[in-house]
Amino acid sequence: MKKAATLQEALPYLKRFAGEVFVVKYGGHAMGDETLSKAFARNIVLLKQVGIHPVIVHGGGPQIGAMLDRLKIQSEFVDGLRVTDRATVDIVEMVLSGSINKQIVTAIQQEGGMAIGLSGKDGGLIQARKLNRSRRDPDSNIERILDLGFVGEPRTINPDIFNAIDLDSVIPVIAPIGVGKNGETFNINADSAAGAIASALSAAKLIMLTDVAGVLDKDKKLVQVLTPRDVLVLRGQGVITGGMIPKIETCLDAIRNGVGSATILDGRIPNVVLLETFTEHGVGTMIRRDDAVEDEE
């Protein structure tokens, strides 16, 4: 009876999302745990079987760090971004586009899906530019430009490659490596890459797997739905801080650019992608346009 009830609850969402594109940012603890990795691959294949078109964009920070340590290459972080010199960017590309990407492709195929691994350089998928950041000195109040090396941000996304590989049958797995106008290789934050790709594809959902439950209010309770107006309020209250700010900004940019909704999920929960997609209340924190919430009300 419980299984029947679950299927009945899922039916409206199966109908609503058939034929739609979901862009899933895959990273954090979910990538490093064998059981969670297997469950993730199975979730993605199930989405494909019911007519949804998942597109995976993955990170790989810990794996990059481990390889740099093995090769005795030192790296540093500035505001959560790895400073990427010429030697480091070669390692980043090797790890992201090579071992990690193919592990995810293999996991999906072992669950019965057809996956193709891509780099953002393939087909000019992610045209990138150097990411510029600045930091204000608290004593002198002078703003200093930070040089992060070959750290980039998406400039444009070429969606034609998705037509070429046929999303009806193939699950793309994308490493967030971009190419500059002069052929440079750029290391791109996976959240930013996923948001840009979701916008280019007018995805129904942007799903971001993290190592937190979602956005918590001042009482440490999960906020299930946010609008841009709500985000302004919570930032003013100091509730949204630190590493959650760029994730929220990515989600807001996506919905401004036509993505149906963006959800921040706890990737440590088994089958979290299915729970978010096919249950009435979902899990995590969903960011939606103000007018979308008003229409439901």
pLDDT single digits (tens) 71-102: 888 777 766 677 777 888 899 999 999 999 99
Give 64-115 as a DSSP string: HHHHHHHTT----EETTEE-B-HHHHHHHHHIIIIIIHHHHHHHHHHTT--E
The tokens for 253 are 């940019």
Q: Are 286 and 262 in contact (CB under 8 A)?
A: yes
The Cα-based distances of 54 to 2, 25, 38, 115, 235 in angstroms read: 27, 10, 16, 10, 31
Better-predicted residue by pLDDT, 227 or 72: 227
**pLDDT, tens digit, for every residue of 155-211?**
999 999 998 888 889 999 999 999 999 999 999 999 999 999 999 999 999 999 988
In the chain, the number of structural domains is 1
- Host domain of residue 97: 2-296
pLDDT of residue 1: 66
Indicate the average pLDDT of the chain: 87
Residue (of 185, 197, 196, 192) closest to 87 by Cα position: 185
pLDDT higher than threshold 80 for residue 148:
no
Nearest to 51 by CA among 18, 23, 24, 21: 18
pTM: 0.89
User: Which one-letter amino acid corresponds to residue 26?
Assistant: Y
Which CATH number fits the domain that encloses residue 106?
A: 3.40.1160.10
What's the first-to-final CA gap in the chain, in angstroms? 31
**Segment among 33-47, 74-88, 204-218, 235-249 with least mean pLDDT:** 74-88
Band of pLDDT at residue 138, cut at 50, 70 and 90: low
Distance CA 283, CA 275 (A): 7
Q: Residue 296 pLDDT > 60, yes or no?
A: no
Q: In Å, how far from its chain's centre is CA 186? A: 17
Say if CB 81 and CB 38 are below 8 A apart: no
φ, ψ at 135 (rounded to 5°): -140, 135
Q: What is the mean pLDDT of residues 106-132?
A: 94
Q: Tell me, what's the pLDDT at 74?
A: 78
Of the candidates 162, 260, 160, which has an alpha carbon nearest to the alpha carbon of residue 205? 260
pLDDT of residue 23: 98
Q: How confident is the model at residue 239, as a pLDDT? A: 83
Closest CA to 197 of 170, 247, 160, 234: 160
Q: Would you state the pLDDT for residue 297? A: 45
Instruction: Tell me the pLDDT band of 259, cut-offs 50, 70 and 90.
Output: very high
User: Helix (H, G, I), strand (E, B), or coil: what is residue 257?
Assistant: coil
- 17-37 pLDDT per residue, tens: 999 999 999 988 788 788 999
Cα separation, 73 vs 144, in Å, equals 26
